[in-house]
Structure formats: C-alpha cells, structure tokens
Structure 1
Amino acid sequence: MFVRLQMIPAQDAMKTWRAIFLHAILFLFFFQLITEFVAAIYAFGLLGTGIPPEMGFVLLFFSPLFLLLVRQPRPRLLLALLFIVLLARIAEPMLTTRGRLILSGVGVAAWLMLFPILLWRASRRANGDGARIFTAALLLATLASILLRTGGSGVDASTMGWGQMIGVGFALIAGWLGWKSRLGAEWELEGEKSRRGVAGMVLGLMAGMTLIYFAFAAPYVMARWTGMDGFWVLLILLVSWSVWGWIWGWGKRTWHHALLHAAGLLFALMLFLAINLFIPPFPNTPDGYPFAADAAEAPITFAWIPFLLMLLLSPVLFAGLYRQFGAILARGPSLRQLAAAFVLASAFLLTAIFAHVFTTTYDYIPVIGPWFRNRFDWVHLVVGIIFVAGVIMAGRGPRAAFNPAYRPLAVLVPLLAMIILTLHYLTTPGLQPLSSKDTLTILTYNIQQGYSADGQKNYPGQLHVMQTLQADIIGLQETDAARIANGNDDIVRYFTNQLGMYSYYGPNTVAGTFGIALLSRYPILQAQTYYLYSEGEQVAAIDALVDVGDVGMRVLVTHLGNGGPMIQQQQFLELVGGRPRRTVALGDFNFRPDTPQYALTTQTLLDSWTVRWPDWRNDQGQEPRDKIDHIFISPDLRVLDARYYAEGPSDHPAITAVIGR
C-alpha cells in the first residue's frame, strides 16, 4: 500500500536533507561520546580492579534536570549545546583517559539536553515531517558508525591517528548545516497539544537507542557473541536494512501497527535467545570442569536460528523508533515534560549500562554483583521489552503525507551497505600459508584490554610491540574489549588484520570471561575453548593445533583467576595431558615461580625461561623471578632464546621464546 504523496520543490528537498545530515551527525556523535565516556570510566576501574571515584561522573547523565528550569528555550541555548557537543567530539580522542572521561561526559550531558530541545522544536512545527527526519538520521548515523568501525578493522577509525580528522570534518559539516538550517534564528512555533503517554514513549525511544549503542552500531560485537564470521553478520544485517530502507524511502507502508507490535516482541525474544543459547550452563562444582564450550551450547545449527532471525528482524528497531518519534511529536509536549521524561530515560540508560557492565565485573561489585553473573541475555531482553512497550504506546504512528524528498534513502542505504561490505573485504588480509621454518618465535602478551601501564588507550603501541617482535604464534590475554565497557572495540580483529595473521577468538563475550585469543602466521587447523572452574570471574583456555609446515604444533593459551588458583591450574594441566609432545602452553597464569602451582606445572612442562637461562639472569641482566606470564613447553622441544620486554605499552611484560623444532 502506498501512502499519500506530497509534491515539494527542490529547495524544500535540500532543506530536508540538510536537517537529516545534521541530525545524523549528532546521533553519530552521541553514540561515539557515550562509548568513550563509559569506556573511560571503566578504564579507571580496570586499573584498580574496583569501583573508582571517577564513577561520580555518571551524574552527568542527569543533565536534563537543568531543562526543568527552562520555561521557553531561546535559540542561543540550542546553539551553545550544539557547540559543546561538536567541540567535545573533536577534542576528546586527543586527550588522556582522564581528559576523555571529562570531555566526553560533558558532551553526553550537552547532548541529553540538546535532543529534548530539538524534539520540542520539531513538535511545534506545522509540517509534521520531524519523525521521518529523526528516523532517517538515526539510520544513517548507525550505518556511519558501522562504516567507521569496519574501516578501522573493528575499531572506530575516526578516533585513532589521522582518522581523527574524520570527526573534525563531521563537526565542521554539522556546524555549517546548523547555520544553513537557521538554528540560531528566532523560532515561529505552534502551541502545545496533547501530552498523554509521552514519558513512556521517550523511555521506549531511549531503549531503542540503547540497543543500537549496545550492539547494532558495532556489529562485530554481535559476531563475538556467537563466533559467527563478521562478514555474514554484516551481510545479513545490511541486506535487511537495505530492503527496509528501500521500501520506506519509496513511501510504502512497511509495517501495519499490529504486525509491528508482533515483530517487535519476536525481535526481543530472538535477541534474548541469540545470546542465551551461547551462554554455557556452567556447572556449580569443580568436578564438572574443564568442559568444552561447544559441548555446553545448543547444537550449532539450532543455536544460530534465533541469532539469524534477530538480524533479519532488526529493521523493527527503526520502524518502531519512527512510530515513537511520530507519536511524541504529534502530542506536542512542553519542554518541561520532555525534560522530565528524559530524566527518567537517562536514569534507565545509566541503569542498563551498569547492568551490562556488571555481567562481566560481578566479582568486583559488592552485594549485587554476583546476581549479574550469566545475566547478559536478560539485560538485553529487558531493554528490548521496554522498547517494544514504547512502540505499543505510540499507537498507529504518524499520519503525515509522504515526502518524495526521502526517496534517495532507497539508494543511499544499499550504497552504504555495499561500501561497508567492500571495506570489510579490503581490511581482511589475504593469507597464504608460510613455508616451514626451523624455528618458531612464541609470544605471550596480556594487553590489559588495550590500555598501557599508565591507563591510556594504546592499541597502536601494543601493535608496534607485536610487529617489532615478529612472533609466529601469539597468545593474547584480556582481549575481551568487544563490549561497551571497552568501547565495543574488536581488538582481536584489529590486531589480526594489522599483523596479517590467522586468529581464533577464544571464549565468546557472552560468557563473561577474561578474553584470550590465539594469533598465528600459520593456519590454525583446530581450536577449542575449555572453561575452568572459577568462584570469581570465569576463566577459560584455548587448545589449538597449528599447522607449522610438515608437522603440527599444539598451543594452549589461558588467563587464570587472581592468584592463579590451584584448582584452575590442575584442570589446565588435565587438558595438557600427562606426556605432551610438541606442545606450548602460554598465558597469564597469575602465579609466580615460587608457588606450588608453578612446581606442579614444571613436573609436566618446562619453563622456557629457565631452560634458556638456568640461573634466571639473562644476558641483559634481567632476572624476572616474580613474573606471572609464562611460556611452558613440552620436553621434546628446544629453546634457543627467551626474552622479557618490560611493562609500558601494557601493564604486563611481553614474553617471547624461540623454539627449535
């Protein structure tokens, strides 16, 4: 069914697209600022493994309270808030972690005041086109976020190096568009209308945007939930959005309201199941460990069905947001009512963020923390249900005549989708198996989720370490950055692509573990994740077979819990077996050489460091008797060299061993 068409001059079409692009940049900046804000707060907790005093900055989420004091906003207030958002986005990537925390927090606070004013202003205009502008802008902002993260190999390309100029360019464009849109001119506004149900719909609106922030603006995050290749996640997601964008751009009615409600509920359920089926049912007693991850999950063909359906149904996010935008604007609430609604919505957003983060930091959160263990799926379900409730409250949605100015969306969305898929292909290195060598350089490196010893985000510095050492096989620990606590950055993909190596991600992010990953210049023939018993944060181990030429090399990678619990090391050694051959076991074991765990391990394996340097002191005068990062080898392997590279780029040293075959 086609909706009623409205003929408009080219000048009005340009005005419409200026508004769309301006709001798209503002939505993109919101997702980027809140991502950096939450990650910076978490970074301070990471340094102290506790609740940091910087947590107090979360009060900036309640900035809409100030709008309760404003009876009639003037254009100068809107321009001031716009300037703060743009300036914060330009400057924050260039600062230290503390500077990023403060400036991105101020940017988020300004945005949470700016957005209600923009909604209030749009609700007073007579043309009734605001819902389409906001929805189209949000769709384009989400696609822009995906494009930047794809171009950056899992990391937002506009926050690193020369890529920061992209953010500067977007800010300058937004400033120009704001000027061309006459945001600073006096407003001619209609009066107030009905205000019923606005708070509930604003809450639903924020829930939809929260889901985009949690996952859909960074689809590699969802790929790490299940282990599905990121290309297929992008393909399915972008095809479904392109189809919806084409239909919606041509003015066709995409969802009858009852169908939209049903699709929304099904989407929320599939989102829950897409995560739930990949959370292993961890045994409560040690005798159930170690166990293989795949053995604990539903059959892979069944487990992926809800995930695929969730991706296919994801356009319901934008269709539902369109309904909510339209219903809010049609009611024409006062600014104070919108401010009160956004105080509630901001409190919900903050609560959802805390809940999301607690699913991995439960061991460090007193009293309530343990309840969030293995509740990652429930967090998303609650947010999804609140979004759908807001859609239901919105009713049948906007009734305005269709504006032909939106037809370019039918082409623009598929075009952006093709660019994103092309970027994914171009940033994925084409790998050729290497010829067999007589020696292998092994590296173990705890990267502290991409932060340096002094708490600064340091992906390039850590990459430089790996490039300099030219290791053939790398075991990484604390790689679980593909979630909001670490900025939704897929750093395993980033390092894999930059180094041109094969990789195995290890435990998926929904299991709440220390992240571990295996990178190799040689093909990884087999790889399996095993979970070890843990009373605190869940831990795991990778057991893989690497094809190093004419023979295979068995490689195990792990990160044990605090203190390297004996039960975990016993279970790890159970995986190793009694008489290992051609085996390397590496990682952050969290125990020192003077512990019973170390003594137990060296009954089966050899410490590569003491094989090369029997008296512990190397030819550089280093004597790391307190190290907790180790490379153990089976007795049949020869150690030609072993090196210790001090902390700095990470809070852990880089440890290497050169193995002769």
Structure 2
Amino acid sequence: MRKKWLSLTLCLTFFAFPSGGTLVHNLPASAAPTMSDYEHTLSVVTYNIRGCRTDDGTADPALIISALEPLHADLIALQEVDVRLPRSGFVNQLANIAAGLNMNYAYGPSIDFVIGQYGNALLSKYPIQQADMVSLPSQWEPRSLLDVTINWDGEPLHVLVTHLGVKKSEHSEQTESLLAYLHEQSYKTSLLLGDFNMLPGDPSLESLRTFYKDPLYEENLGLRTLKHPVVPREIDRILHSPDLTYMDAAAPAVGPSDHYPVQMHLTRSSLLTQEAASSY
C-alpha cells in the first residue's frame, strides 16, 4: 500500500508549484489559553517532523504530539508538514497536531500538489494576528519563509519559520534574501527558526548573525539535531533579536523524525535589567 502512495506522490511532483497563500486558525476564546498561562519567559521549539513519518514510512501525527507535549512550548515551528497528501494518508497533519496540543496555528505551504500541500507551520499558545509567506530563491525544491505575528505580553512578536535548501550553492542566495526581507521589515522583536540545512560554521550563517543572536553557536552547545549514526549534526537553529535574552536550550532525543526538536527558553532583556535595578 505504501508503494502505491509513493508512486502517486512521485507523479504529483510533476504538477507541483509554489503556493502563495497562508492559513491561520485561532482557537475560540472558550478553548484558548488564559492570560494566567502566559509567562515573561518564552519557550520556543523548532522541529522538522518529516511528514510525521517513522523510519519505515508510516505517518502518524500522534507520535509528534507525544514528542512535543512534554516540552510545554509556547511556540512550535514545524517543517515538512503534510496536509492531505497521499503519502500521509490524506490527513491534515497540522490540524491534528494543533488539536492534540490545544494550540493556534498558521500554515505556509511551500509546495501545492493540487490535492494536498507541504510546508512550514507555527503552533502558538498566543493568538495569531497575521501570517504572510515569502518565497525564497531555490534551485530545486521550492523554499519559503513563513512570517507570523503574535501578541506577546501586549507587544508584537514576529516569528519567522523557514526550511532552507539542502544544496550548498543555494545557501548564500537564500540567506541574502532573508536578510533583505528582515532589513525591509525592521522588526523590533523577532525570531528566525527552522531547519537551515547548514552546520554552525557555514559562512552563510555569518550574515544572519549580523542581524540576530545565535545562542547555539555563541554558547558552542553542539546539539545533535539531526540523527546520524556517527557524527552529531546541528542544522536546526533558533535565532533571536538582540532585545531578547537566551536562557537555555536542549535537543531531546525524542520523536519519529530524522530530526530532534530543539527547545530554547528566552526572556525580554529589559525585564532582566529591571530585575537587576530593583535588587539594589
């Protein structure tokens, strides 16, 4: 049966085209997290879920929910999310995962296969105010940036989710495109996170570090974010604007994907300054 779905998916790739729309779903007020659940500390996760597939090709969103639920994250960026694709049993993976975690979501499909889609998503405990998608230059598979605005403690937080190309020749052009977009938007408080398909020392990441803080690199954490039998690989990252302060990070070895989720805790730098001043 899996071979049948694989053959159909391969056929559909010839009819795939970049998608230009986003989808936002906020929970009704009666089901949404209350303000007492909101903390000044922000728990953020990025996770390439590989279409919720296990190593044998079985797609099961429940396994992703089980991996993410214990993390109690406020924001979860997902890559390789299938929506109604044959290889995943025509399931809306994002809606399933969001329902299981009781979170709002935004979806930016990088590829539209006519009968289904594939792309990046953001799950959020906070109401989503806006979501836009920007296409990135690509040599093979279409790549994109999902730009989501949420209200965090009364101020806008811009969360940018991406999944960059696997070819080294794409990295420079894609990071330049990201930088141009960031300079154009001039966001005060923002995150850039996802699967960058680059090791920490890649020159293309240096340009992004002129705009963002990269704690995994600065702290030399060497997290294993991609499963590898011999060499640990850190290709999934969470970058943040300078007005946020890094607290800690980890990449728990959980879930069915070939990636591990990366979790980071952040807070506003201004809050730490206020706390320090009040202690005198």
**Are 2:256 and 1:652 aligned?**
no
CA distance 1:454–1:644, shift in 2 (3 Å): farther
Aligned to 1:530: 134
* Aligned ranges 1:419-498 → 2 under 5 Å: 430-435=31-36, 436-453=38-55, 455-498=57-100
**Alpha-carbon offset, residue 486 of structure 1:** 2.4
1:108-158 Cα offsets, whole Å, 9 max, x none, are xxxxxxxxxxxxxxxxxxxxxxxxxxxxxxxxxxxxxxxxxxxxxxxxxxx
Question: Is contact 1:454–1:648 with CA below 8 Å preserved after alignment?
Answer: no
Aligned to 2:24: none
Question: Is contact 1:616–1:625 with CA below 8 Å preserved after alignment?
Answer: no
CA distance 1:573–1:625, shift in 2 (3 Å): farther
**Alpha-carbon offset, residue 628 of structure 1:** 1.0
**Are 2:244 and 1:637 aligned?**
yes
* Cα distance in 2, alignment partners of residues 520 and 632 from structure 1: 17
**Alpha-carbon offset, residue 574 of structure 1:** 2.0
* Cα distance in 2, alignment partners of residues 442 and 503 from structure 1: 14
* Cα distance in 2, alignment partners of residues 375 and 548 from structure 1: 31
Aligned to 2:198: 591
**Alpha-carbon offset, residue 556 of structure 1:** 0.1
AA in 2 matched with 1:608: P
Aligned to 2:157: 553
Aligned to 1:540: 144
Question: Is contact 1:444–1:655 with CA below 8 Å preserved after alignment?
Answer: yes
1:270-313 Cα offsets, whole Å, 9 max, x none, are xxxxxxxxxxxxxxxxxxxxxxxxxxxxxxxxxxxxxxxxxxxx
Question: Is contact 1:480–1:509 with CA below 8 Å preserved after alignment?
Answer: no
Structure with the greater relative contact order (CA < 8 A, sep ≥ 6): 1 or 2?
A: 2
* Aligned ranges 1:9-28 → 2 under 5 Å: none
**Alpha-carbon offset, residue 576 of structure 1:** 2.2
**Alpha-carbon offset, residue 615 of structure 1:** 3.5
Aligned to 1:38: 4
Question: Is contact 1:524–1:544 with CA below 8 Å preserved after alignment?
Answer: yes
Which ranges in structure 1 are unaligned for 5 or more consecutive residues? 1-33, 43-54, 56-352, 363-371, 377-427, 619-623
Aligned to 1:600: 207
Aligned to 1:570: 176
**Alpha-carbon offset, residue 607 of structure 1:** 1.3
AA in 1 matched with 2:248: D
**Alpha-carbon offset, residue 648 of structure 1:** 4.8
CA distance 1:615–1:596, shift in 2 (3 Å): closer
* Cα distance in 2, alignment partners of residues 627 and 617 from structure 1: 6
* Cα distance in 2, alignment partners of residues 617 and 431 from structure 1: 36
Where 1:478 maps in the other structure, the secondary structure is: strand
1:578-613 Cα offsets, whole Å, 9 max, x none, are 7643111101111111211112211211113234xx
1:211-249 Cα offsets, whole Å, 9 max, x none, are xxxxxxxxxxxxxxxxxxxxxxxxxxxxxxxxxxxxxxx
1:608-649 Cα offsets, whole Å, 9 max, x none, are 3234xx23358xxxxx97311110111111011111123652
Structure number with greater Rg is: 1
**Alpha-carbon offset, residue 514 of structure 1:** 4.7
* Aligned ranges 1:235-250 → 2 under 5 Å: none
Aligned to 2:235: 628
1:403-450 Cα offsets, whole Å, 9 max, x none, are xxxxxxxxxxxxxxxxxxxxxxxxx98324534411010000000001
* Aligned ranges 1:170-569 → 2 under 5 Å: 353=8, 357-360=10-13, 362=14, 372-374=15-17, 430-435=31-36, 436-453=38-55, 455-507=57-109, 510=112, 514-563=118-167, 565=170, 566-569=172-175
* Cα distance in 2, alignment partners of residues 473 and 593 from structure 1: 23
* Cα distance in 2, alignment partners of residues 516 and 589 from structure 1: 13
Question: Is contact 2:67–2:254 with CA below 8 Å preserved after alignment?
Answer: no
Where 1:641 maps in the other structure, the secondary structure is: strand
* Cα distance in 2, alignment partners of residues 583 and 550 from structure 1: 14
Q: Percent of aligned positions with the same letter in both sequences?
A: 29
**Alpha-carbon offset, residue 569 of structure 1:** 1.7
1:43-77 Cα offsets, whole Å, 9 max, x none, are xxxxxxxxxxxx6xxxxxxxxxxxxxxxxxxxxxx
Aligned to 1:303: none
Aligned to 2:23: none
1:369-414 Cα offsets, whole Å, 9 max, x none, are xxx44399xxxxxxxxxxxxxxxxxxxxxxxxxxxxxxxxxxxxxx
Question: Is contact 2:64–2:255 with CA below 8 Å preserved after alignment?
Answer: no
CA distance 1:542–1:374, shift in 2 (3 Å): closer
The TM-score, its normalising length taken from structure 1, stands at 0.35
Where 2:63 maps in the other structure, the secondary structure is: helix
The TM-score, its normalising length taken from structure 2, stands at 0.78
Number of equivalenced pairs: 247
CA distance 1:615–1:485, shift in 2 (3 Å): closer
AA in 2 matched with 1:527: A
Where 1:480 maps in the other structure, the secondary structure is: strand
Aligned to 2:220: 615
**Runs of 4+ with deviation above 4 angstroms:** 511-514
**Alpha-carbon offset, residue 485 of structure 1:** 3.1
Question: Is contact 1:433–1:522 with CA below 8 Å preserved after alignment?
Answer: no
Structure with more strand by fraction: 2
* Cα distance in 2, alignment partners of residues 580 and 625 from structure 1: 33
* Cα distance in 2, alignment partners of residues 457 and 485 from structure 1: 8
Where 2:234 maps in the other structure, the secondary structure is: coil
Where 1:494 maps in the other structure, the secondary structure is: helix
Where 2:82 maps in the other structure, the secondary structure is: coil
Structure with more helix by fraction: 1
